[in-house]
Structure 1
Amino acid sequence: MITELYSNSIYMLLTILLFSLAVDLLLGEFPMQIHPVVWIGKIISFFKNILIKYDNKIAGLILSIAVIIVSSLIVLIPMAIARYLLPYNDMMIYLFKLIAILLLTSTFSVKLLLDSARDVEKDLRNNNLNKARQAVSYLVSRDTNELNKEHVISAVIETLSENIPDSYVSTVFYYSIVGIIASLCGIGDFDVIILAVLAAFIHRVVDTMDSMVGYKTKELYNIGFIPAHLDDALNYIPARFSGALIVVSAMFLRLNWKNALFIMRRDANNCDSPNSGYTMATVAGALNIQLEKEGVYTLGDNINPINVDCIEKAVDLARLTIFLVTIFFMFVFMDLILLML
């Protein structure tokens, strides 16, 4: 029974998820030379350079399909090889799981997300506003050279909260949902893992496409239209799930969870994106602060002054939300395992 459990698809989904998160938290991002997301970026650039001259939405559709198919080979080739070798050596199951863990880890950016916010917080506590502005410039698309201290803090909290779904929740959502559905449909245990990791990876591919071409500039509007809307569609449920869990996190952290819920309902649609406001507005409400991107959106009420301590509290909210997401799916997996025993 123990051997059967170790190769059970639901058990493997759970352990691969937990080990992948642990690897990300301990080691952070892969080196640039071998990072799968860097490869994805190169694939996007290759097809973009070919298709952008057509300047229409069909080119964006072709870009999306081509990038997803080619990028999927990053997952399918190593996992298919390990899958093929399984019958020949019992040790291949460990190689298969290791490949799955590393590929799934590459889709997470939890450590980078939290550390980036902490670095800006440290710069501000050291009264180094220029360094903080420089650090924030790598995180947001706006010009940070003239931002005052309050707007730097706002920008950090905005990008931290906005990226909770992109950096972890959405990826885990699709990994878990696709894995569970595939398992319940009777697909082979190891093929379930391949499909689950592929689903997580495709989300990362779409997210990377959106970050590279999903802008409303004259050059990118047409080719980025499909990638941007595809990213919006994939993040629709995870963003709202994240917002709800931020409210729960605020409750545990003794922040203003009632206001978090109120501001999420009131201000979530103030942003151009149909999704980003659900996490940004909720964090603003929980901290009783106002987040503002000048001329674009305002979220929350200016109840408390925005200061450096707000970054620390926002990091705590993000960290606990990520923990709660993991716990949620862990319990789902464990319930399914118990039903199968």
Structure 2
Amino acid sequence: MSAPLTIALDAMGGDHAPDMVIAGADEARERCPNVQFLFFGDEQRIAPLLDRLPGLKAVSSIRHAPQAIGNDAKPSTALRTGRESSMRLAIDAVARGEAACIVSAGNTGALMAMAKFVLKTLPGIDRPAIASFIPTLRGESVMLDLGANIDCDARNLVEFSVMGAVFARTVLGLEEPSIGLLNIGSEELKGHEAIRNAATQLRAMPLPGRFHGFIEGDDIATGTVDVVVTDGFTGNVALKTAEGTAKLFAEFLRQTFRSTAMARMGYLLASRSFRKLRQRTDPRRYNGAMFLGLQGLCVKSHGGTDATGFANAVCVGVDLASHGFNDKIKQELGRIGSSPLPDPKAAAI
């Protein structure tokens, strides 16, 4: 039997921490056997919660952290003053090799700043990116960057493409994932210089997948490609727009089925189908954004999620660690070559 995989958890991160974190870890324990947990946070609050869950307590340890990073803390301030915080100590455990991955539902900016400072980026990667699953008509796709990098050049977009493709192969099990650059049109001359240069480079590179070309916003939901690549500004806006649209239509449905007695009866007759719809579009199912490109694994859970959503984020971290995700990124970059990412200026000539 292989040695247990250790996951470091920021027990004080999230809107409902530490209760949600402890409950989520217990649910993840049932889904992901052979996993141990290191909880970082206020021991006086964590210990009583673990006492109520003997199965989780048996595979867990507590590391007291006197500080917690607030949701409104600036990344620079958190990095400077949060050395004894639950978030920072959990990241330090990954850097020391005590844990294979850190999962936090805390402040996104602070988590990225601390993780990049402590863990550093992988060789050949200039900037890390935030990636997550998105539901599509064909199943699931990967989208990155979702907010870590507001301005990106061609090199960054190429790096994101490589990391996204490796992620799709590792976690989604796709042998040759298709990669698309999100643009304002599918024609080759559309878009700004950086995205056109990135496309030129991707067409000439031996990628861990297949470069599809440019895609537009409506291609995201249809699942035209397996990996959607864009800068952090566009990606974050697209993600929040999709989430808002989903909530809008959910509310429209509720209002419609409450409008008349006949509509309520129709809902009862179709209740089983609507349960399936809710399960497929449940945001908790897709919880767990990954910080790709770091020398240690870091997963960000939505701050307002519940135990089930947090458990999904933990299981994402377990998948990445158990499948050697970072080693596969290194292998792909090595396969592409010692200088895998050409100079964007040269590509433009």
Higher helix share: 1
The alignment's TM-score, normalised by the length of structure 1, stands at: 0.25
Higher strand share: 2
